[in-house]
């Protein structure tokens, strides 16, 4: 729904024709709304309509309470299995085990709860954009009323600085300009007209006789009649789109969910195996329960949710230092999976600062460089050789004329430059400043007698000045077609010639500039007599002499161009989705090497409207340019890409971008120019509005995903070794018989020992893995398929083989100690130490996808400290009374400890050597 239909707020609409207001004449709009532009509505009628249509506000959204949100975290399948283990521990009176498991559950749930507690506030941000008060005409009198009370048919006043409170049809416009960038994405203010338009299918940006809720009046004044309020406005339409979008699971969340299911089934199968074997072997229920709990705990990496969250947090901090603020931790990894980046053009790929790039004057061409609005840059001739502009008389004359004929000012504050006025006009002022020409200095030579401001009807601005010889001049600048139609002469190599001699060349320059995505601005002049100075602009703006034409553009960011190349090298497709005109979009895309052909195919919003979903799906995989699009179009594009299995990052800064930002796998908002709605709807905020920052974040996301996979390899190898060590004892019957004649299995490891391995010997070094640097080829790989599991590229085989070897070694150490009569506690302690140090050695192999022999073990200092800390803590749990009480360990001889440490290094060293020299990729 949009505001194309009058009074569409309910079924009892005021206007029965359902005709878009922008194609209706003023009288038709007024009649359709049963209102009068001179008197407005009566208080009685306004109250009746308020009752019928409702308040002029956006609907509230449902909020999830903190309690419900916390309880939702407990639905995590891994936590449910641990909870069942805690209940069984209580039943068999293993209270320490039960308490320890419950604490682990609470920590994991709390971390996840904190991560998700930042609820979406998009609707709140939209509500804050509405004008709290407005001027409305009631019974012929202007009243300052709350915007909430507006209804269709109300007449409102529009003045500079006004936040427009509802969608309305313009009835009066005196140089009225409105900033609609938040809705349309176009940076230039829109000049509003009164006349009806003739195309019912115009997109929002072209409905120049309409104003829309939450946009701002930047210049002039006028009046308008409200056609839609509240949720029936364009902003309301966007709010409905936001409310209707569902958050997709991120690739990381989908992979962890899949991993959870695998681990749960593995735990259940192992427990079932224990119960069956135990039943036939005559084990007691309590002994089977203890064994089952031990195996369930061993099969599940309890620290996985916590470690993943902490690793993502570390990555988020790293991104923050690179000007990328991740609002949701999962966004950090999602970036690493991104296969398509849908980017806005203005301000993201480009600088959002209009610059003069070329100047055609007196029949010669010149070029200008520079960055942003800084008055620093060089001038070049047609051969791209540096020149002194002050030695080019015609060029300097044109810069002086256009500076005097300008209302825009260049402002410097603490070394930062900005403009106050129209962006296109500001580009000319900055170009003059690069030649040390400013209006302030020119006013010491000239007096301004009259100024005729820019008008959308005339499409030009002019000024009358007098020089030090009291000669009056008319300087004019504006649209080339309008200026040229009023010229009788043209400047050519310092001489005035008949315009007919230069007409073809001038029009060719304009066409050439347009083909290069340059906006054009012509400059002309005319000498005036004293009598002519008093004449109106309509009489003076004729018989002009064409001075030249400026070629102006919003230039691409150099770093964004480099970033696009890096994206292509990394297999990431960049798609430009913009509200700008198609030729401008195509030219910028070609200049930035986003596409390889100057005439690359592009799709406009109008063409999208005519496409079916099937047609869009057929072409979306190859299309890189979309122009003149609406919020609905952006949604369709994102969903079509996702339907093809792409992981989509979508950038945006306006209200109109919010639905697509929420629907995309990762929404990226602009931190400097972005609206509050866009920032609240996004997952990532660029603090510098720079596309290159996205690519930096993608690199960081890939590094983080690699590190998460490394942790999973490390953690699951430990789990396999723990489970296999226990199963070896059970299957090979390391057992004894109790006084009642029941078979009692001597477990290789006690349950709390397993928890310690999972949380400390794995957990502490795993955090350091999160700080591991990126592999050298991280931005040379193709994006991961969205359905790729953690176990791709033979990782599952590596985990099983390494885990079984280490588990077997752990059991053999345990079995040897039992056979030597060292006692159960002593044997379990030796097995505990074997497993601890085996994992600590294995982590150096887990931190690379090659072998430990190909990566410097000292390159990650944090990992060295983590391994050392884990080793010291674990050894202390063997020799300190507190550790012996909690874990059931006992002090072992130093000779045995040294032997165990040496043995635990063998699996990693030997298997890595076999892989290295045998070139066995799966090992």
Cβ–Cβ < 8 Å for 9, 2: no
- As a whole number of angstroms, the distance between CA 168 and CA 434 comes to 43
Query: Judging by DSSP bridges, how do beta strands 472-478 and 324-326 pair with one another?
Result: unpaired
**Which tokens go with 338?**
């991104």
- As a whole number of angstroms, the distance between CA 829 and CA 823 comes to 10
Cβ–Cβ < 8 Å for 138, 153: no
Residue 581, number of CB atoms within 10 A of its CB: 16
- As a whole number of angstroms, the distance between CA 888 and CA 367 comes to 81
- As a whole number of angstroms, the distance between CA 624 and CA 645 comes to 17
Residue with tokens 């084990």: 283
Residue 198, number of CB atoms within 10 A of its CB: 8
Reply yes or no on whether 344 is catalytic: yes
- As a whole number of angstroms, the distance between CA 693 and CA 673 comes to 15
**Which tokens go with 221?**
């004044």
Name residues whose C-beta falls within 8 Å of residue 692's C-beta, 6 or more positions apart in sequence.
Answer: 557, 559, 560, 562, 563
Burial class (CB in 10 A: 0-12, 13-18, 19+), 415: exposed
Burial class (CB in 10 A: 0-12, 13-18, 19+), 163: middle
**3-class DSSP string for 473-517:** EEEEEECHHHHHHCEEEEEECCEEEEHHHHHHHHHHHHHHHHHCC
- As a whole number of angstroms, the distance between CA 683 and CA 248 comes to 12
Give the DSSP per-residue string, 212-253: -TT-EEEEEEEEEEEEE-GGGSHHHHHHHHHHH--PPPPHHH
Please, what is the Cα angle at 114 between 109 and 116, to 5 degrees?
95
User: Which residue is catalytic, options 344, 665, 762, 845?
Assistant: 344
Would you give the DSSP letter of residue 529?
-
Which residues are designated catalytic?
344
């Amino acid at each position: 729904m949009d505001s194309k239909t009058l009074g569409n707020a309910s079924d009892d609409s005021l206007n029965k024709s359902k005709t878009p207001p922008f194609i209706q004449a003023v009288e038709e709009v007024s009649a359709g709304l049963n209102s009068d532009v001179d008197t407005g509505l009566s208080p009685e009628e306004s109250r009746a309509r308020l009752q019928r249509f409702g308040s002029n506000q956006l609907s509230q959204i449902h909020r999830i309470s903190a309690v419900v949100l916390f309880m939702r975290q407990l639905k995590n399948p891994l936590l449910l299995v641990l909870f069942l283990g805690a209940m069984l521990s209580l039943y068999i009176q293993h209270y320490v085990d039960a308490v320890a498991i419950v604490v682990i559950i609470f920590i994991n749930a709390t971390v996840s709860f904190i991560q998700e507690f930042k609820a979406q506030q998009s609707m709140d941000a939209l509500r804050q954009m509405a004008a709290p008060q407005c001027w409305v005409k009631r019974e012929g009198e202007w009243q300052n009323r709350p915007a909430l009370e507006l209804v269709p048919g109300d007449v409102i006043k529009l003045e500079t600085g006004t936040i427009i409170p509802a969608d309305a049809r313009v009835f009066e416009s005196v140089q009225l300009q409105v900033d609609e960038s938040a809705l349309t994405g176009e940076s230039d203010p829109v000049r509003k007209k009164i006349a009806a338009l003739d195309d019912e299918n115009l997109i929002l940006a072209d409905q120049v006789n309409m104003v829309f809720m939450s946009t701002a009046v930047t210049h002039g004044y006028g009046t308008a009649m409200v056609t839609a309020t509240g949720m029936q406005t364009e902003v309301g339409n966007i709010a409905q789109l936001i409310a209707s979008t569902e958050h997709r699971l991120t690739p990381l969340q989908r992979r962890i969910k899949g991993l959870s299911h695998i681990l749960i089934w593995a735990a259940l199968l192992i427990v079932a195996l224990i119960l069956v074997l135990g039943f036939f072997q005559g084990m007691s229920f309590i002994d089977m329960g203890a064994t089952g709990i031990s195996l369930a705990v061993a099969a599940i990496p309890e620290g996985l949710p916590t470690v993943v969250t902490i690793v993502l947090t570390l990555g988020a901090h790293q991104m923050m230092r690179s000007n990328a603020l991740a609002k949701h931790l999962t966004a950090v990894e999602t970036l690493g999976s991104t296969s398509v980046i849908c980017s806005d053009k203005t301000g993201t790929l480009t600088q959002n600062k209009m610059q003069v790039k070329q100047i055609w004057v007196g029949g010669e061409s010149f070029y200008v460089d520079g960055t942003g609005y800084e008055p620093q840059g060089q001038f070049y001739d047609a051969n791209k050789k540096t020149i002194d502009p002050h030695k080019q008389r015609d060029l300097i004359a044109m810069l002086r004329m256009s500076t005097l004929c300008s209302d825009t000012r260049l402002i410097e504050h603490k070394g930062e430059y900005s403009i106050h006025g129209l962006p296109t006009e500001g580009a000319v002022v900055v170009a003059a400043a690069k030649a040390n020409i400013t209006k302030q200095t020119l006013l010491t030579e000239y007096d301004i007698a009259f100024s005729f401001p820019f008008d959308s009807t005339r499409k030009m601005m002019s000024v009358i000045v007098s020089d030090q010889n009291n000669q009056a001049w008319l300087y004019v600048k504006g649209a080339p077609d309008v200026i040229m139609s009023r010229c009788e002469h043209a400047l050519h190599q310092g001489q005035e010639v008949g315009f007919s001699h230069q007409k073809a060349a001038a029009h060719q320059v304009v066409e050439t500039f347009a083909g290069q995505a340059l906006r054009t601005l012509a400059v002309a002049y005319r000498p005036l007599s004293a009598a002519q100075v008093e004449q109106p602009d309509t009489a003076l703006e004729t018989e002009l002499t064409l001075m030249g034409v400026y070629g102006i553009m919003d230039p691409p960011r150099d770093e964004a161009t480099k970033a696009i190349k890096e994206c292509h090298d990394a297999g990431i497709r960049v798609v430009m989705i913009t509200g700008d005109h198609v030729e401008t979009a195509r030219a910028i895309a070609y200049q930035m090497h986003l596409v390889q052909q100057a005439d690359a195919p592009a799709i406009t919003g109008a063409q999208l409207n005519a496409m079916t979903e099937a047609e869009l799906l057929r072409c979306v995989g190859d299309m890189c340019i979309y122009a003149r699009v609406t919020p609905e179009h952006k949604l369709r594009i994102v969903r079509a890409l996702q339907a093809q299995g792409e992981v989509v990052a979508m950038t945006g800064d306006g209200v109109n971008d919010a639905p697509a930002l929420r629907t995309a796998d990762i929404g990226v908002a602009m931190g400097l120019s972005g609206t509050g709605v866009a920032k609240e709807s996004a997952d990532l905020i660029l603090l510098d509005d720079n596309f290159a920052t996205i690519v930096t974040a993608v690199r960081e996301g890939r590094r983080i995903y690699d590190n998460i996979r490394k942790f999973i390899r490390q953690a699951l190898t430990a789990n396999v070794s723990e489970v296999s060590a226990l199963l070896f004892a059970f299957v090979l019957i390391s057992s004894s018989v109790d006084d009642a004649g029941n078979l009692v299995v001597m477990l290789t490891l006690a349950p709390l020992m397993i928890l310690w391995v999972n949380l400390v010997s794995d957990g502490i070094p795993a955090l350091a893995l999160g700080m591991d640097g990126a592999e050298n080829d991280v931005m040379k790989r193709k994006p991961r398929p969205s359905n790729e599991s953690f176990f791709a590229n033979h990782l599952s085989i590596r985990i099983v083989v390494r885990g079984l070897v280490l588990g077997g070694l752990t059991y053999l150490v345990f079995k040897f100690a039992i056979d030597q009569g060292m006692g159960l506690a002593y044997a379990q302690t030796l097995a505990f130490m074997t497993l601890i140090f085996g994992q600590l050695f294995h982590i150096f192999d887990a931190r690379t996808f090659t072998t430990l022999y190909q990566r410097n073990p000292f390159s990650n200092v944090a990992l060295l400290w983590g391994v050392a800390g884990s080793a010291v803590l674990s050894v202390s749990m063997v020799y300190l009374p507190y550790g012996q009480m909690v874990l059931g360990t006992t002090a072992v001889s130093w000779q045995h400890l040294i032997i165990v440490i040496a043995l635990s290094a063998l699996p990693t060293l030997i298997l890595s050597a076999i892989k290295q020299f045998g070139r066995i990729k799966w090992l």
